[in-house]
Amino acid sequence: MDMVNKINLEKEAWNLKVRVIRLWTIPTFTGQLLPNFMEMILVDESGCKIQATVLKTMIYRFKQLLSEGRVYVMKLFTVVPNKGSYRATRHQFKLIFQFRTTIRAAIYDFIPKSALTISLFTELLETKEDSDFLVDVVGLLVSVSEEKEYDKDGKKMKMTVMELAENNLAFFNFYLFLLLRFFFVFGRVGFQNIMFPSKLGFNLDIQRWQLFGKDISVHVVSVVNH
């Protein structure tokens, strides 16, 4: 089996044993039943992650074969550079499923079930520019604003602002936000959910050492929910 951190542009015949830790579809926004893309995050036993895409013309072939949380042996992909404004992993490359890509369900308990990469507020608060990479954050819920409605390009949008604090108490009563867009505007740090990949969890069964490397003081950021 090949390891995810070894994937590069030199070949297509990669043979992977990975878990699908996140799976979502992106619609066409034109009323068609078939989505535009199916996206997923794959992780191997070392904890290394890579994003994979099933294009619209291939969704019929793979949609029924893939489930979030399951382990698979996968072979044969197109490898492309990992570019764009909403990159779900830090891997240099991403995978595109082909017609000849094969998938076989497997049982392998040594592959992580979550492979979280928690971004600490102390580190993010030092950043002075937007990021193209989506981040995972965890924090204590401090406040939730009333839902507000606003116009965006002629469409009605709803927004709720939540404030999070990060400290050692978050381990006992925390919210976990997966795959958020990180931005810096008007001197403030914030996060915004992305309509399909972002996910919210509450008091998940995660050991403390997976969340924090050390106790840190409280910092507050905003999470914007469309």
Q: CA-to-CA distance for 45 and 23, rounded, in angstroms?
A: 18
Number of domain units in the chain = 2
The last residue of one of the domains, among 40, 74, 106, is 106
pLDDT band at 47 (very low <50, low <70, confident <90, very high): very high
Q: Residue 68 domain-assigned?
A: yes
CB atoms within 10 A of CB 151: 8
Give domain status of residue 114, yes or no: no
DSSP, residue by residue, 101-156: EEEEEE--TTS-S----BPPHHHHTT--S--SBEEEEEEEEEEEPPPEEEEETTEE
Residue 226's closest CA among 182, 191, 186, 201? 191
pLDDT band at 217 (very low <50, low <70, confident <90, very high): very low
Residue 185 within any structural domain of the chain: yes
Q: 195 versus 139: which is more confidently predicted?
A: 139
Residue 198 — very low, low, confident or very high, per pLDDT cuts 50/70/90?
A: confident
User: What percentage of the chain exceeds 70 in pLDDT?
Assistant: 72
Please tell me whether residues 56 and 142 are part of one structural domain.
Answer: no
Asked if residue 74 is part of any domain, the answer here is yes
69 DSSP 8-state letter? T
Last residue of a domain, one of 83, 106, 129: 106
- For residue 184, the model assigns a pLDDT of 61
Q: Are residues 144 and 186 in the same domain?
A: yes
| Residues of the domain holding 17 | 4-106
CB-side neighbour CA atoms (13 Å) of 105: 8
* CATH code where residue 26 lies: 2.40.50.140
As a dihedral over the C-alpha atoms of residue 191, residue 193, residue 197, residue 200, rounded to 10 degrees, the angle is 90
- pLDDT band per the 50, 70, 90 thresholds, residue 208: very low
Residues 55, 21: one domain? Answer: yes
pTM: 0.77
Q: So what's the pLDDT on residue 123? A: 77
User: Does residue 128 share a domain with residue 101?
Assistant: no
| Contacts for 209 with CB less than 8 Å, ≥ 6 apart | none
Q: Are residue 39 and residue 133 in the same domain, yes or no?
A: no
Residue 67 domain-assigned (yes or no): yes
Task: For residues 88 and 53, state if they share a domain.
Answer: yes
Q: What three-state secondary structure class fits 212?
A: coil
Question: Is residue 116, in this structure, part of any structural domain at all?
Answer: no
CA distance 84 to 186: 24
What confidence score (pLDDT) does residue 202 get? 66
Q: How far apart are CA 12 and CA 46, in angstroms?
A: 21
Residue 37 has pLDDT above 80, yes or no: yes
Pair (131, 201) in one structural domain? yes
pLDDT for position 1: 92
Q: Are residues 160 and 65 in the same domain?
A: no
Question: 164 and 221 share a domain?
Answer: yes
Strand 37-43 versus strand 15-26 pairing type: antiparallel
Question: Does residue 38 register a pLDDT over 80?
Answer: yes
Bridge-based pairing of strands 188-193 and 199-202 is unpaired
At 214 the pLDDT is: 39
Q: Is residue 113 part of a domain?
A: no
Please state, rounded to an integer, the average pLDDT across all residues of the chain. Answer: 78
pLDDT of residue 170: 43
Q: What is the pLDDT of residue 216?
A: 36
* Same-domain check for residues 91 and 15: yes
Q: For residue 195, what pLDDT is reported?
A: 67
Residues 15 and 98 in one domain: yes
**Can you tell me which residue has the tokens 């390009």?**
153
**Most confident listed range (56-70, 105-119, 124-138, 191-205):** 56-70
**Alpha carbon separation from 208 to 13, 72, 171, 194, 214 (Å, rounded):** 38, 29, 6, 26, 10
Lowest mean pLDDT among 9-23, 51-65, 175-189: 175-189
Compute the average pLDDT of residues 179-203.
Answer: 68
Check pLDDT > 70 for residue 224: no
